[in-house]
Amino acid sequence: MTTDSLLSVKNYNIVYQVETPVHAVRNVSFELGRGEILGLAGESGCGKTTLAYGINRLLRPPAEITDGSAIFHDESGVDVDINGLTVAELRRYRWDKVSMVFQGAMNALNPVINIQKQMTDIFSTHRPEMSKSDRIDECADLLDLIGVGRDRLRSFSHELSGGMRQRVMIAMALALKPQLMIMDEPTTALDVLVQRDILQEISELRHKFGFSVIFITHDLPLLLEISDRIAIMLQGEIVEYNTPEQIYRNAGHEYTDKLLHSFPSLTGERGGFVRSGEASALTREATR
Amino acid sequence: MNYLARKISFYVVALWAALTLNFLIPRLLPGNPVEILIQKLAARGPITPELRNSVELLLGDTSNDPIFVQYVNYLKGIFAGDFGVSITYYPQPVVEIIAQALPWTIVMIGIGTIIAFVVGITLGMLAGWKRGSWLDNLVPVTTMFQAVPYFWLALILLYVSAVQFKIFPVSGGYSYTGAGPSWDWDFISSAIYYGTLPALTIVISSFGGWLLGMRNMMVSTLSEDYIVTAEAKGLRPTRIMMAYAARNAILPSVAGFAISLGFVVSGSIVTEQVFSYPGVGSTLLQAVNNNDYSLMQGLFLVITLTVLGANLIVDLLYTVIDPRTRARS
């Protein structure tokens, strides 16, 4: 892993400007290295998705970025201040530099136009110089790469299984060879086997193309396995930011500890993931 | 293909049912066309049994035949394009009268309905896309136009624009001072001039419904995940609006459009009455007033056929625009 930085987020604050403003992201700062996987974990509603959308400026009113900066260090050596982009610049930046795989695998594809049209859309917007047949070839190659197969180009999303839809989304996210891929709970709606396949796929692709990943999930053990660094979010703040090794061995924050203890072990041995009497008392407290 | 065959066979059965009802209903109604014509003729002189016999032959009165034979003859007549002779416009055949009236209605009301749909959908799309903009103020105004009774709105518009300001003619389908219907520019331009006001009233009174429906569908479609995906993909806003938002939001409106297309022919009675327009609606009113059964029967058949035809077309169109409705083999 190279150590130079790809994304520097400093003192990021996002507020939902409703009657009583909700401070969804508070003073979040982190560095994402080139080629690194950053795991972002935390319970539902802690601001993970809001933060990810904020980095891509996908938030809609009433959400507002009130403070902070996100600097994208492009391969070419140019630093991009994401909050300072104009609408047209932002459009070019999106997907070309940062692509996203969304939480709702089931609904992230347009139901009435086929996969090919949705994929070639990306090329006709960002690579207008490509010929039509090149675009289609490229999309077919992507589907082959991700294991869906080029014969699915003409399919509609209702004709694909959940796992296939998520793969199509990943194929789309790869289309422009972005430097960063934000994955917002990409495997939540899938069963564990499909989840495993997809995660392996992602990790292989990352080795092949060298992009960085921000991986959002509430599944902490999963992050321990795949991430280079993990950030634990609680009520809009990053309460712990460390390597998986450190988080597993000596969690600095009691909330991290609580998260680690919330997952049962398969083998039943006493260990990090065993739900002991004390831990279940903790989880009971957490659910109360 | 299989799907297509199934759809079409469904419509064939529906057509047969409609034809049969069309045969039965007039025969279940009180009154007899022969008696009505005899009464009309009686005003001019005494009725001899020979005259009565020839009237019966002329109108094809076969009430002495068994009903099954009548039914078979009726079906034969329909497929040969023979709907009998009109009493109101005696001795013109019903087919000729309908052929004269139908183009007026289809062109004027049809164009009005299509314009209302296109205008309503376009404005609704824009209003939903830019929610909270000035376009939203159109919604209550157009809903008001839709809420007032159509004939009242039409009469007011007729009074203001034709009587007070004389922008449009008061009544009719074309200028009677020129030559009769023909395919020259004089006639066509006068038909357009005469048809504009009635078509305009249809547009004004009905586009609000399309606008409201489309706007609300746009708003709910815009909160779908695939819209966020499209935005994250960095697509141009027009592309997102057309291919992602409007493309999905229009689906329910298309189904509604099928129904209103079916009513193009039958729903024209009030419009044509207000503007004395020479279409199907005013012909139907004439037929009802004169107990002209064969003409009524012919008109009902035409109305049934247009409703079925419009529905078939939209059914087939729907499978093109919404892939989810396609049959999976």
User: Measured between beta carbons, which residues in chain B are less than 8 angstroms from residue A156?
Assistant: 323-324
Q: Would the CB atoms of B232 and A95 count as touching at under 8 Å?
A: yes
Across the beta sheet with A212-217, the strand order is A98-101, A180-184, A212-217, A37-41, A229-234, A237-242
* Highest mean pLDDT, choosing among A277-281, B62-66, B78-82: B78-82
Contact A250, A271 (CB under 8 A): no
Q: CA of B231: which chain A residue's CA is closest?
A: A58
Question: Is the pLDDT reported for residue A117 higher than 60?
Answer: yes
Q: CA of B247: which chain A residue's CA is closest?
A: A112
Band of pLDDT at residue A275, cut at 50, 70 and 90: very low
Q: Would the CB atoms of A117 and B239 count as touching at under 8 Å?
A: no
Q: How far apart are CA A117 and CA A131, in angstroms?
A: 14
User: Measured between beta carbons, which residues in chain B are less than 8 angstroms from residue A104?
Assistant: 225
Q: How many CB atoms are located within 10 Å of the residue A76 CB?
A: 7
Q: CA of A93: which chain B residue's CA is closest?
A: B234
Distance from CA of B212 to the nearest CA of A (A): 22
Closest CA to A50 of A85, A84, A9: A9
Q: Would the CB atoms of B243 and A122 count as touching at under 8 Å?
A: no
Mean pLDDT, to the nearest integer, of A151-158? 89
User: Is A56 in the B-facing interface, judged by CB distances under 8 Å?
Assistant: yes
Q: In this structure, what is the dihedral angle of CA atoms A265, A270, A276, A278, given to the nearest 10 degrees?
A: -130
pLDDT at residue A279, as a whole number: 45
Band of pLDDT at residue A266, cut at 50, 70 and 90: low
Distance from CA of B126 to the nearest CA of A (A): 18
Q: How far apart are CA A29 and CA B43, in angstroms?
A: 101
Mean pLDDT, to the nearest integer, of B105-132? 91
Question: Is the pLDDT reported for residue A3 higher than 70?
Answer: no
Q: How far apart are CA B132 and CA B109, in angstroms?
A: 33
Closest CA to B118 of B222, B218, B250, B240: B250
Q: How far apart are CA A58 and CA A99, in angstroms?
A: 12
* Helix B33-42 / helix B49-58 crossing angle, nearest 10 deg: 130
Range of A134's domain? 108-176
Q: CA of B246: which chain A residue's CA is closest?
A: A112
pTM of the model: 0.81
Nearest to A126 among B225, B226, B234 (CB): B234
End-to-end CA distance of chain B: 10
Contact A216, A183 (CB under 8 A): yes
From A145, A176, A207, give the residue that closes a domain: A176
pLDDT at residue B60, as a whole number: 64
Q: Using a pLDDT cut of 70, give the percent of chain A over it.
A: 89
Per-residue pLDDT tens digits for B280-290: 888 988 888 88
Q: How far apart are CA B269 and CA B273, in angstroms?
A: 6
End-to-end CA distance of chain A: 42
Q: Looking at A111-115, B210-214, B236-240, B263-267, which range is the least confident one?
A: B263-267
* A110, A122, A158, best to mutate vs chain B, most B CBs in 10 Å: A110
Q: Would the CB atoms of A156 and B323 count as touching at under 8 Å?
A: yes
pLDDT at residue B62, as a whole number: 62
Q: How far apart are CA B115 and CA B252, in angstroms?
A: 18
Q: CA of A128: which chain B residue's CA is closest?
A: B235
Mean pLDDT, to the nearest integer, of A204-220? 87
Contact A37, A93 (CB under 8 A): no
Question: Is the pLDDT reported for residue A272 higher than 60?
Answer: no
Q: Looking at A188-192, B167-171, B306-310, which range is the least confident one?
A: A188-192
ω before A62 within 30° of 0 (cis)? Answer: yes
In a 10 Å sphere around its CB, with 0-12 CB exposed, 13-18 middle and 19+ buried, how is residue B312 labelled? middle
User: Measured between beta carbons, which residues in chain B are less than 8 angstroms from residue A120?
Assistant: none
Q: CA of B226: which chain A residue's CA is closest?
A: A108
Q: How far apart are CA A182 and CA A55, in angstroms?
A: 9
Quote the mean pLDDT of chain A.
Answer: 83
Question: Is the pLDDT reported for residue B25 higher than 90?
Answer: no
Contact B212, B125 (CB under 8 A): no
Q: CA of B250: which chain A residue's CA is closest?
A: A112
* Residues 6 or more apart whose Cβ sits within 8 Å of residue A163: A190, A194, A197, A198
Same domain, A182 and A91: yes
- Per DSSP, the three-state class of A70 is strand
pLDDT at residue A281, as a whole number: 46
Q: In this structure, what is the dihedral angle of CA atoms B121, B126, B132, B136, given to the nearest 10 degrees?
A: -40
Distance from CA of A219 to the nearest CA of B (A): 22
Same domain, A29 and A141: no
Question: Is the pLDDT reported for residue B9 higher than 80?
Answer: yes
Quote the mean pLDDT of chain B.
Answer: 85
Q: How many CB atoms are located within 10 Å of the residue A139 CB?
A: 25
Sign of the CA dihedral A174, A176, A179, A182? negative
* Residues 6 or more apart whose Cβ sits within 8 Å of residue B247: A110, A112, A113, B321
Q: CA of B323: which chain A residue's CA is closest?
A: A112
Across the beta sheet with A22-33, the strand order is A22-33, A5-16, A63-73, A79-81
- Per DSSP, the three-state class of A206 is helix
pLDDT at residue A2, as a whole number: 46
- Restricting to B residues 233-262, those with a Cβ less than 8 Å away from any Cβ of A are 233-236, 239, 243-244, 247-248, 251
A76: left (phi over 0), alpha (psi -120 to 50) or beta: alpha
User: Is A127 in the B-facing interface, judged by CB distances under 8 Å?
Assistant: no
Same domain, A139 and A265: no
Nearest to B236 among A104, A125, A159 (CB): A125
User: Is A222 in the B-facing interface, judged by CB distances under 8 Å?
Assistant: no
Same domain, A169 and A190: no
What stretch(es) of chain B map to CATH 1.10.3720.10?
A: 94-325
What type of residue is B62?
T
Closest CA to B217 of B135, B136, B129: B129
Rg from Cα positions in chain A: 20
From A149, A176, A203, give the residue that closes a domain: A176
pLDDT at residue A4, as a whole number: 82
From A153, A176, A199, give the residue that closes a domain: A176
Q: What is the DSSP string of A212-246?
A: EEEEEES-HHHHHHH-SEEEEEETTEEEEEE-HHH
Nearest to B228 among A90, A93, A102 (CB): A102
Q: Would the CB atoms of B248 and A94 count as touching at under 8 Å?
A: no
Nearest to B234 among A96, A108, A159 (CB): A96
Q: Would the CB atoms of B234 and A121 count as touching at under 8 Å?
A: no
Q: CA of A172: which chain B residue's CA is closest?
A: B233
Q: Would the CB atoms of B228 and A58 count as touching at under 8 Å?
A: yes
Per-residue pLDDT tens digits for A218-238: 888 888 888 888 888 888 888
Same domain, A88 and A186: yes
User: Measured between beta carbons, which residues in chain A are less than 8 angstroms from residue B234?
Assistant: 90-96, 125-126
User: Is A99 in the B-facing interface, judged by CB distances under 8 Å?
Assistant: yes
Per-residue pLDDT tens digits for B160-215: 988 888 888 888 877 777 666 677 778 888 888 888 899 999 999 889 999 999 99
Q: How far apart are CA B41 and CA B47, in angstroms?
A: 8
Nearest to A107 among B224, B234, B239 (CB): B224
Adjacent-strand bridge partners of A232: A41, A240
Same domain, A221 and A79: yes
Band of pLDDT at residue A22, cut at 50, 70 and 90: confident
User: Measured between beta carbons, which residues in chain B are less than 8 angstroms from residue A110?
Assistant: 226, 229-230, 243-244, 247-248
pLDDT at residue B217, as a whole number: 93
Q: Assess if residue A248 is contained within a domain.
A: no
Q: How far apart are CA A259 and CA A255, in angstroms?
A: 6
Question: Is the pLDDT reported for residue A10 higher than 60?
Answer: yes
- Per DSSP, the three-state class of A126 is helix
User: Measured between beta carbons, which residues in chain A are less than 8 angstroms from residue B225?
Assistant: 102-104, 107-108
Contact A252, A225 (CB under 8 A): no
Contact B285, B269 (CB under 8 A): yes
Distance from CA of B218 to the nearest CA of A (A): 14
Contact B249, B143 (CB under 8 A): no
Q: Assess if residue A102 is contained within a domain.
A: no
Question: Is the pLDDT reported for residue A250 higher than 90?
Answer: no
If one looks up domain B94-325 in CATH, what number appears?
Answer: 1.10.3720.10
Same domain, A14 and A90: yes
- Exposure string of A95-129, with b = 16+ CB inside 10 Å and e = fewer, is bbbbbbbbbbbebbbbbbbbbbbbbbbbbebbeee
User: Is B275 in the A-facing interface, judged by CB distances under 8 Å?
Assistant: no
| Residue corresponding to tokens 């009971």 | A284
- Per DSSP, the three-state class of A58 is coil
C-alpha pair distances (Å), B215 with each of A91, A109, B124, B145, B225: 26, 22, 4, 17, 18
pLDDT at residue B1, as a whole number: 63
- Per DSSP, the three-state class of A79 is strand
Per-residue pLDDT tens digits for A65-85: 888 888 888 888 888 888 888
Q: Would the CB atoms of B324 and A96 count as touching at under 8 Å?
A: no
pLDDT at residue A270, as a whole number: 54
Q: Tokens at residue B215, please?
A: 């706007």
Here the CATH number for the domain that contains residue A83 is 3.40.50.300
User: Is A102 in the B-facing interface, judged by CB distances under 8 Å?
Assistant: yes
**Residue B100: DSSP 8-state:** H
- Per DSSP, the three-state class of B41 is helix
Distance from CA of A270 to the nearest CA of B (A): 42
Question: Is the pLDDT reported for residue A39 higher than 80?
Answer: yes
Q: Tokens at residue A232, please?
A: 């634990």
Domain count, chain A: 3
Q: Would the CB atoms of B234 and A104 count as touching at under 8 Å?
A: no
